[in-house]
Amino acid sequence: MGKEMPSMSQPLFILQNAASGKHRIREVHAALERVLGGARREYQLTLVRHRRELGNAVRSVLQRATEREGAIVVAGGDGTINTVANAVLPTGLPFGVLPQGTFNYFGRSHGIPEDTDAAVRLLLSAKPQPVQVGLVNDRVILVNASLGLYPKLLEDRETAKREFGRSRVVAYLSGLIGLLRERNALQLQMETRGRRILMKTPTLFIGNNRLQMESLGMREAPDIGTGRMVALALRPVGRMSLLKLALFGALGSLGSAREVLSFGTDALTVRHEGRDAHPIKLAVDGEILQLQPPLRFEVSSQPLYLLKPLPAHCDAQ
């Protein structure tokens, strides 16, 4: 559908997450008027002021975009982008992003600028190109999914952001503080293509973003985008060892740590031994979910058609 249409002629249906702050709202609106208005490119902007409104807004925008054979664009962080991508993926409509989050791994990995004006200008020339999407129990994974320690660290990070503001420094510091707290280990049973792994671990992390995995120094990072994701789990360690591993990650050498088990996979089933009757808390692209086990991680057979620069001008995922 959308992948066959020239992006320069499609109307753009833009969803913006107002939670990014008043400054960001004005910044996006000004860029849209200046760039798209100046180029006489048709667009419609929908502002979502509360998280609970997002579902209805996405359905309304999808209907209009389908009727007009347009493209969906979302302005927000990786969590908001993920929510909209869940709805867009089955439709095959072109999908664009204006990164507005803290880390913006999804946009950065596909050559989409973090500068708002530059990202809007890209929409005038970008072409829909297929990008790999991961799934967990049919929920989209664009960047990563995790259970155990990492979801709790994300909750701590969001609390710190509300108190001290949204920045990468606040995110890093809140994560380090969180590592010093006592955590319970998970007893997991993992199966991938006939291989069974029984492991006690504080966290299991599934990566679908090559840029993030390269930044951690994972040797399997090149697998991403070739029909595989990267799974990594930490062997049981003390709090000081967790801090050491955090330092390894910050220095881009986590993949060389003895305490890390990692492997590439296109399909992984995870059970929490003794707790399969209870939902499992996990983080998906920065959003906390509760899913009923077993957790089935896999690469989607359907790609997302992302409006991005041609491959010669950006790194592959």
pLDDT (tens digit, 9 = 90+) per residue, 41-92?
999 999 998 878 888 999 999 999 999 999 999 999 888 999 999 999 999 9
Whether the pLDDT of residue 274 is over 70: the answer is no
Whether the pLDDT of residue 161 is over 90: the answer is no
Residue 204 lies in a domain: yes
DSSP H or E run through 214: helix 210-216
Which CATH number goes with the domain that contains 159?
2.60.200.40
3-state DSSP of 140-153: EECCEEEEEHHHHH
Residue 306 lies in a domain: no
Q: How far apart are the first and last CA of the chain?
A: 23
Which CATH number goes with the domain that contains 43?
3.40.50.10330
Question: Quick one: 120 and 65 in the same domain?
Answer: yes
Residue 317 lies in a domain: no
Residue 279 lies in a domain: yes
Residue 308 lies in a domain: no
Type of residue found at 9: S
Pairing of strands 71-76, 12-17: parallel
Number of domains in the chain: 2
Instruction: Give residue 165's pLDDT band: very low, low, confident or very high (50, 70, 90).
Output: very low
